[in-house]
Amino acid sequence: DARTKLKTSEAFDQPLTSCCFNPQGNVFCYATSYDWSKGHEGFDPNKKPHIFLRSCFDELKPSMKKT
């Protein structure tokens, strides 16, 4: 219900176009690539898509709420 920023990441030169957690929830997978929002004129073939895997088990543990 309440949103909390869990972790910031480095800036990319292309949009983050897809992301998900693995079934165990301990690896965050994400991809950056051109999203075609600027049409074919904005496409730069020199900028290649990238896929990242980030271990997040310890980093994204829920914090204990204070009562």
Secondary structure (H, E, C), 4-57: CCCCCCCCCCCCEEEEEECCCCCEEEEEECCCCCCCHHHCCCCCCCEEEEEECC
At 43, list the tokens. Answer: 């496409």
Phi, psi of 50 (to 5 degrees): -135, 145
Would the pLDDT of 47 be above 60? yes
Which pTM value belongs to this model? 0.68
Say how far residue 56 (Cα) sits from the centre of its chain: 12
What's the pLDDT band for 61 if we cut at 50, 70, 90?
low
Alpha-carbon torsion, ordered 54, 1, 62, 57, to 10 deg: -20
